[in-house]
Structure formats: C-alpha cells, structure tokens
Amino acid sequence: MEDFENTEDEDQVMAVVDMDGYVEEIARAVTEELSPGTNPSDLYNYCTKEQIVGIVEENCLGFSEDDEPLINFEVFHTIFNSVLQRVQNGALSKLAAEGYLECAWDDEINEMIFWLADESADKA
C-alpha cells in the first residue's frame, strides 16, 4: 500500500491480487486515521470485511482478466473515505442507540445530525 501511495504516476492502474490483504490494509489505514494505536480488527464492529470488499468492487475501475478489481490512486482514496465514513456513521449510530447522542434527519441539509443527549432527561 505504501508503495502505491508513493507512486509518481497517480493514474497508474493496479490490480488488487490479494483482496484479504488489501481489506486488512484498508482497515489498518482507517483505524490509524481514526484512533492511532487501536487494533484494526476493532473496525470490523462497524464495517465488516465483506462490506469493505463490496466498497472495493463498487468503486473499482473494472476487473482484470483474472477478475481482480482494478484501482488507481483516486479509487484508493474513494475506498478509504467510504470505509472511513461508514465507520464514523456506525460509531455515531451506536452512541445514539446507547443514549449518549440524540439524532434526527435534517431535511434542509439532507443529512442525519447528532448532538449530545440531555442528561437531565434521564433524571426526570
């Protein structure tokens, strides 16, 4: 992965020949971005390996003759950001389900919004 990130040709197309290894590398990179030092396997509580494979397959440029997803630098970042967003959304949803956050859909911005739960509501 690091060789790919340091490539001089960002348009270079590469085949993902080891999907399990690629998924683990994406999980490591996303985990390091969110919480350095955390075990990457913790990420799978919010985004499964199968979901990451789906994100890779949905965003790849196509498939090689050997049915391997083809990616370039831009696709790598799209995959990374999609997994990152899924993990963040999962964590926020979990916090809302546990009562730490409140949430609602905002029609004006067309997004889910979150805010800290009012602790006094639990004491009423």
Q: What is the pLDDT of residues 40-86, one digit of tens each?
A: 899 999 999 999 999 999 999 999 999 999 999 999 999 999 999 99
Q: Is residue 103 part of a domain?
A: no
Local confidence band at 4 (pLDDT 50, 70, 90 cut-offs): very low
Range 82-108 average pLDDT: 92
Q: Is residue 119 part of a domain?
A: no
Q: Is residue 110 part of a domain?
A: no
Please tell me the pTM assigned to this model. Answer: 0.79
Q: Is residue 72 part of a domain?
A: yes
Q: Is residue 30 part of a domain?
A: yes
Cα 101 from Cα 120, distance rounded (Å): 13
Domain of 61, in residue numbers: 2-98
Q: Is residue 107 part of a domain?
A: no
DSSP summary character for residue 96: H
Number of domains observed in the structure of the chain: 1
> Does residue 111 register a pLDDT over 70?
yes
The pLDDT score that the predictor gives to residue 8 is 58
> Does residue 121 register a pLDDT over 80?
no
The 10 Å Cβ neighbour count of residue 64 is: 14
Local confidence band at 10 (pLDDT 50, 70, 90 cut-offs): confident
- The continuous run of DSSP H or E covering 71 comes out as strand 69-71
Q: Is residue 113 part of a domain?
A: no
Q: Is residue 62 part of a domain?
A: yes
> Does residue 93 register a pLDDT over 70?
yes
Cα 68 from Cα 81, distance rounded (Å): 21
